[in-house]
Amino acid sequence: MNRLFKIAQTATAGSGVQFRKHSYGRGGIQSFLRDVLALANASVDGPRYIIVGAEIDSRDQRHFYSIDAADFSGKPSYQALANEYIEPPLRISYKAVSIEGKRVGVFEIGDSQDRPYMMRIDYSEQLRRGDAYVRSRSSTMKMGRRQLSELFERKFRDSVSAGDIEIGFPGEIIHKDLTLDCCDLSKLPSAEASKKLNQLIDIRQKAKRSGSTTVMARLTHARLFGPDNPYVDRSPDELMEEIGELRRKYRDQDDHFLFESRAERVQMVVYNQGEEPIIDASLSLIMPNHNAFYVAETLPKILRDDALASRTADEIASYPSVTLKDDAVQVTSKIGDIEVGAPVDVFASPLRICVGKDLSGKRFGIRYALHGQNLRSPAKGNLRLIFR
């Protein structure tokens, strides 16, 4: 954090550093995507930065303005927006630093060696698929055909062919299919709690219809929750409201069930059969989404001393970037350099997946794309998950 503080306090605007007075928020997504593209395509070495809540006036005086804490909550998720709209994948972090009593935000865009970075899909009429921007000194401009051609030609020279790359699941040979076992999602802690509350609702409704007392409800409560858990007289409507809150209440326990105790840990490998290393490689995946198909967005809390405890920062950082959408799951992983002649793991920490029995006997396709600084074109293909 001291490093980001120093950058925010002393850096000067240029090709790799941009100042912005106000946060992007939901209304500034188009500006955010354009600015990230421009910095990623800039001709500078190392990370690039957007300093939010800061400006430099005409007399080179630096002014800071506090950014709302909600902008750091992940809504919107700036990393997820980059994953969805920009290719090749970029790693972006967004952290707050305190300067002169003001909360200032610093975006750090990882070392961008796989230029050009472009829009993967349309965002709006003004920001379309294939659009690319570049930052030069303190200005941003849209890249034209000549600039893009020069970058592609430079990338093609001394490059590796996608035909020399094999990607799949590890084993004695690299597999294109992976079979995953399904589990009983009715055993989720929140589902178990829901079943108990539904039994209480049923007893209360029967007692109400018969005009009887709450004795049966009390006995049922003691059987379900134990005699040490005191009975609280609640109406069926109140119990239904409690059921609606169970997923939030049991989130950590459910995540531990799905992504720790019952998780399938999925690893993938890349095998470089060419004659030179692939530089600064990253892999992106797209899978279907389904209400019985769970992919962890982050590592779950871990059980320590009979309590669920948070992971270390290093453990969390080792997990791939996962974005859940209504119809798809997007995964990106920064691999680094891939040497010749031996399979290399894609994920520093395997992807955590849990599959419900509703998908037993079904298959999901996975589309992948491997990007690299010296790949002539992305290595693309398809894999399959088989559920049993």
Mean pLDDT, range 268-290, rounded to an integer: 93
Residue 217 confidence (pLDDT)? 58
**Could you give the C-alpha distances from 271 to 166, 168, 172, 278, 344, in angstroms and in order?**
5, 9, 13, 10, 6
Burial of 363-374, coded b for 16+ CB within 10 Å and e otherwise, reads ebebebbbbbbb
**Could you give the C-alpha distances from 264 to 180, 182, 295, 310, in angstroms and in order?**
7, 9, 10, 20
Kind of pairing between the strands at 379-387 and 177-180:
parallel
CA–CA dist 362, 354 (Å, integer): 14
Residue 242 confidence (pLDDT)? 67
Mean pLDDT, range 105-127, rounded to an integer: 91
Residue 223 confidence (pLDDT)? 58
Q: Is the pLDDT of residue 188 over 70?
A: yes
Residue 68 confidence (pLDDT)? 93
Q: What is the mean pLDDT of the chain?
A: 87
Judge whether 117 and 34 are in contact, CB under 8 Å.
no
Torsion of CA 5, 9, 10, 13, to 10 degrees: 110
Q: Is the pLDDT of residue 112 over 90?
A: no
The rounded percent of the chain whose pLDDT value lies above 70 is: 88
pLDDT band at 134 (very low <50, low <70, confident <90, very high): very high
pLDDT band at 303 (very low <50, low <70, confident <90, very high): confident
Mean pLDDT, range 333-357, rounded to an integer: 95
The rounded percent of the chain whose pLDDT value lies above 90 is: 57
Q: Is the pLDDT of residue 44 over 70?
A: yes
CA–CA dist 315, 173 (Å, integer): 29
Residue 75 confidence (pLDDT)? 85
Mean pLDDT, range 261-268, rounded to an integer: 96
Judge whether 296 and 352 are in contact, CB under 8 Å.
yes
CATH level 2 (architecture), domain 162-183+260-387 = Sandwich (2.60)
Fold of 2-156: 3.30.950
Mean pLDDT, range 378-384, rounded to an integer: 94
Q: Is the pLDDT of residue 30 over 70?
A: yes
With 0-12 CB in 10 A as exposed, 13-18 as middle and 19+ as buried, what is 78? buried
Q: Which of 273, 285, 265 is nearest to 335 (CA)?
A: 285
Highest mean pLDDT: which of 38-42, 139-143, 247-251? 38-42
Residue 220 confidence (pLDDT)? 58
Domain residues of the chain, as ranges? 2-156, 162-183+260-387, 189-249
Mean pLDDT, range 231-242, rounded to an integer: 64
Judge whether 208 and 309 are in contact, CB under 8 Å.
no
Which residue is listed with tokens 């994953």?
83
Residue 329 confidence (pLDDT)? 96
Q: Which helix (H) or strand (E) holds 140?
A: strand 139-142
Residue 211 confidence (pLDDT)? 52
More confident residue, 325 or 387: 387
Before 277, cis peptide (omega within 30)? no
pLDDT band at 305 (very low <50, low <70, confident <90, very high): confident
Burial of 226-256, coded b for 16+ CB within 10 Å and e otherwise, reads eeeeeeeebeeeebeebbeebeeebeebbbb
Residue 224 confidence (pLDDT)? 55
More confident residue, 124 or 221: 124
Judge whether 164 and 374 are in contact, CB under 8 Å.
no
Q: Do domains 2-156 and 162-183+260-387 have the same CATH topology?
A: no
Residue 256 confidence (pLDDT)? 95
Phi, psi angles (nearest 5°) of residue 101: 75, 5
Q: Is the pLDDT of residue 205 over 80?
A: no
CA–CA dist 279, 300 (Å, integer): 31
Neighbours of 104 (CB within 10 A): 22
**Which residue type sits at 270?**
V
Phi, psi angles (nearest 5°) of residue 178: -135, 130
- Helical H segments across the chain, by residue range: 2-10, 29-40, 78-85, 145-156, 189-210, 215-225, 236-244, 246-249, 251-256, 313-318
pTM for the whole structure:
0.66
